[in-house]
């Protein structure tokens, strides 16, 4: 059985999988393979849904990861975290709009949204991995601290 504290690692794996699948989906559409693109994007959306479910469970039971870094790294970390959170909220709106336009066959509009959605979603996934690496591996808070 997986412990709640281990869900942070699961979230990191899901972020990494998202990056791979999004880049593959992009390669498929650039190659003119609409069906391959559709299948890859369906996978990306499924990974996103699993990510959201795991994220909500993790933070409901474990709270927020404490950052143990000191000095100049703190404002760097918290700035990255703030931008990551804002962009995640933006992506949570952009993805459904982009998918909706594709599902309705509005491909010109879908492409316009996708040109913003893809780099934004990739930024959120990559920055999520950086935030995870910084808070969990590079600068973990000592046990029992409030940091």
CA 26 to chain centre: 16
Average pLDDT (26-51) is 98
pLDDT of residue 142: 83
Q: How confident is the model at residue 145 (pLDDT cuts 50, 70, 90)?
A: low
Please give the pLDDT value at position 63. 81
144: left (phi over 0), alpha (psi -120 to 50) or beta: left
Domain at 4-138, CATH homologous superfamily: Cytochrome c oxidase, subunit III, four-helix bundle (1.20.120.80)
Give me the mean pLDDT over the 29-49 stretch.
Answer: 98
pLDDT in tens, 7-19: 999 999 999 999 9
Most distant CA pair in the chain: distance in Å? Answer: 54
What pLDDT score does 36 carry? 98
Q: Domain residues of the chain, as ranges?
A: 4-138
37 pLDDT band (50/70/90 cuts)? very high
**Which residues are CB-contacts of 36 (< 8 A; sequence separation ≥ 6)?**
25, 28
CA dist., res. 73 & res. 63, Å (int): 22
pLDDT of residue 65: 77
Q: What is the pTM of this model?
A: 0.94
Give the per-residue pLDDT at 55: 96
Per residue in 82-121, pLDDT (tens digit) is 999 999 999 999 999 999 999 999 999 999 999 999 999 9
């Amino acid at each position: 059985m997986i412990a709640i504290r281990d869900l942070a690692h699961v979230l990191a794996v899901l972020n990494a999988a998202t990056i791979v699948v999004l880049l593959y989906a992009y390669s498929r559409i650039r190659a003119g393979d609409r069906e391959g693109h559709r299948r890859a994007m369906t996978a990306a959306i499924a990974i996103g849904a699993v990510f959201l479910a795991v994220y909500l469970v993790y933070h409901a039971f474990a709270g927020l990861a404490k950052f143990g870094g000191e000095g100049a790294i703190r404002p760097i970390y918290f700035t990255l975290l703030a931008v990551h959170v804002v962009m995640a909220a933006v992506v949570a709106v952009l993805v459904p709009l982009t998918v909706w336009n594709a599902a309705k066959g509005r491909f010109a509009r879908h492409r316009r949204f996708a040109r913003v959605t893809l780099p934004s979603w990739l930024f959120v996934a990559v920055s999520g991995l950086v935030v995870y690496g910084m808070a969990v591996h590079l600068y973990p808070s000592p046990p029992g601290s409030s940091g």
